Structure 1
């Protein structure tokens, strides 16, 4: 692997700017730290567990053993935030796969014929992606790593009566349960799906943001396998047969570093998943079909089976809060929204939000303007991903979710777009740009109204 390199941030003779804290050392927190580094005098990354020095499945990230791929928007965003990251990932074994030609999909009847529509997916283990990103971000000059748990936000009254309270830091607790205050004017909340953000709001007397929930009811079982020498002689391909309504079972099989497959079986709405190696392999063969039989039938299993379940997802509209957020508070990643993991959107949305943070800090000097610009821009990709996931999941009669006219509209547009692309293959690239969060869902409106 290439040696860690610092992003090409402008050099500074003396520290200038505010003090910043990032809560959470996952993908969102690391991306946010890279965005903040050129703009702050000090930067503290707080993670509740010691961060490993090698690619490792971390205890607090239970989804880590399963298929992880960066959508093209996320790939581009992370490479812009952390120059050299893409090359370092490829050197370490990450595989850039072209959508549809190498990132193969199943239409419910057969594996679709390969075609190149433009976007590229990076395929690797979550552990490798996080490790490679972490090595570069932790080398940033103003950054200090702190192993502790955040117990609350510290606020000061506003300087003027009409303004919101100001963040002045966070309260942290170390492994010995000793508490202390950490001063900061900027706090990026990347505490994640299971974070305590709303508890901190309640303790500080702040109103929580409006929240929408859905219940996609997904379970995963995954394992790593060795790829056959015959597979290695040909360009790599991933194979995706996600559960498509009304089917409730699916499979994703992606090539990753160290000549391995990660195979994830999917079950929805109570569909049973195998609990032993023999049952796992048999189920994978049944779902994948004859085309992939040689790749799966006798591939050596390299890991135990690991499971994961997501019953519900939610979208917190910090940009539509009833009361202004504390000045200096910037939510990101799963703190804003969690998604149906079948669509691979979470890491890419977080990377796009980190880019939005970088732009807001570059383009605005006033803290209030920075926060307002960021919140508007950060919720945009989250909204795109939320609508796409909701539109696709609406095909399931079992799906429980709130009424959403925008998702209904997008579901109709997606159906029309996929139907139109059968006779107009050039539309496939436009569809994929929307699904990869490179273009807004409204792009589908333009070509879906044209005659087919």
Structure 2
């Protein structure tokens, strides 16, 4: 997925390094647990090195775009940042065009987003970064069809993985055990493997499997969030399309505790998600209360679509889930030939839209390691250490922001990050060039360090005042 005006081309040329297409020697059989976005990207990368790749999914997978019980968050808006989109397009050439042919629009991030920041509206002008909005079920259906077509790859749905199969000394993973959901007796099945990858997401059961084998479990870091989603699909039938393709209202704890997102799925449908602490969000079946809630937001776009549009789905409510990091990268005694990727490793508050892109970066990392490795032995340790480096900055930014929900004292690094973010957010509405930099940081095209120079060089009266202000947040203007 290309970026305009050359943004990110020099920084991320490595994103275009595709995984090897032909196996170099017999690497045997790789098993991937989970056929979601992360599992599909992982299978694509492994297919370049392993003779066989089996993707195991507990859900019965649909033949096309459809929701499934194991992925309830798919009913809520998702975003693939520009950096992640570049990697996905390289792994699966033509995916952007295929989704666009189904109605998923491609647009400039700055011009297409109507973003209500805590201190005002983000500038509406081109920032040179192309993005695409879509329904997650559409994206996964396209990727799933591509993966199924790869030589040597098999996607087995309706299979429940129940544990690991380890070597006698428990130092190496040699497969998984499980059963077919359609088997009434749940007859145990063992699948031998030369590499096992856990891409089961937040529902990963790996810590329990390790404990059952008498092995230590990883340390779990957790920063919760009180937010919940209420989401619904609307169809606009009056022929008057809004002047935006994505509407977004940002939360900023503790003062701005409600927000929302609305994404264009195709020419007529908009998926709206309202976000707030559970005690503030109205019940899903109370349409009038939900519309009154939408009217309290600073952005008028959510209420407008709800008033003009025709609901074409029920209201689905989901707990956001907060942030957690299982430190497999620091786990001693973890068996070799076992990789953990995506949300099974480090999961972020979905409000910040980082999860899909971090998973794509991990797939690219795995492709690089596979290209230089002599075999699967030792791969897991190298991967987890480097995957932790990928997760670090998104983790720090997400958890520092979410730390504002807690009344407990937070550490100095988190307070510094929140203070820095507050200074930036105060200036964004009035400084388009700074917002263009911020948009590149948001899309993980560049490091957050690019924001330092304009802040230090031209703080301005408003910026100096913001820098002296402790993180108090804006007041509600409802």
TM-score above 0.5:
yes
Sort the Cα spacing of 1:429 and 1:325 in 2 relative to 1 into closer, same or farther, 3 A: farther
Q: Deviation per CA, 1:175-228, whole angstroms, max 9, x where unpaired?
A: 221112111111110111012111111112221222211111111111111124
* Contact 1:67–1:254 (CA under 8 A) maintained in structure 2: yes
Q: Deviation per CA, 1:330-355, whole angstroms, max 9, x where unpaired?
A: 10011111211111111111111111
Aligned equivalent of 1:119: 129
Q: Deviation per CA, 1:273-320, whole angstroms, max 9, x where unpaired?
A: 243223323322342655665543221111111110135431112212
* Contact 2:104–2:266 (CA under 8 A) maintained in structure 1: yes
* Contact 2:207–2:217 (CA under 8 A) maintained in structure 1: yes
Sort the Cα spacing of 1:445 and 1:230 in 2 relative to 1 into closer, same or farther, 3 A: same
The offset of 1:413, in angstroms, is 2.5
* Contact 2:323–2:399 (CA under 8 A) maintained in structure 1: no
1:390 corresponds, among 399, 405, 412, to: 399
The farther-off stretch of 96-105 and 30-39 is 96-105
CA distance in 1, matches of 2:257, 2:319: 14
Sort the Cα spacing of 1:247 and 1:410 in 2 relative to 1 into closer, same or farther, 3 A: closer
1:237 to 2:248 alignment: no
1:427 to 2:434 alignment: yes
Matches within 5 A, 1:401-420: 403-419=410-426
Q: What is the root-mean-square deviation of aligned Cα atoms in Å? A: 2.6
CA distance in 2, matches of 1:421, 1:313: 26
Matches within 5 A, 1:49-128: 49-108=59-118, 110-128=120-138
Sort the Cα spacing of 1:231 and 1:352 in 2 relative to 1 into closer, same or farther, 3 A: farther
1:155 to 2:166 alignment: yes
Q: TM-score, normalised by structure 2?
A: 0.84
The offset of 1:451, in angstroms, is 4.4
1:267 to 2:287 alignment: no
* Contact 1:388–1:410 (CA under 8 A) maintained in structure 2: yes
Matches within 5 A, 1:1-400: 12=22, 16-108=26-118, 110-147=120-157, 148-157=159-168, 165-175=171-181, 176=183, 177-232=186-241, 236-245=244-253, 246-257=255-266, 259-268=268-277, 270-275=279-284, 276-287=286-297, 289-290=299-300, 294-321=304-331, 323-394=332-403, 396=404, 398-399=405-406
Sort the Cα spacing of 1:138 and 1:405 in 2 relative to 1 into closer, same or farther, 3 A: farther
CA distance in 2, matches of 1:312, 1:422: 28
Sort the Cα spacing of 1:76 and 1:235 in 2 relative to 1 into closer, same or farther, 3 A: farther
Q: TM-score, normalised by structure 1?
A: 0.88
CA distance in 2, matches of 1:289, 1:94: 23
* Contact 1:243–1:268 (CA under 8 A) maintained in structure 2: no
CA distance in 2, matches of 1:11, 1:108: 47
Unpaired segments of 5 or more residues in structure 2? 1-16, 460-478
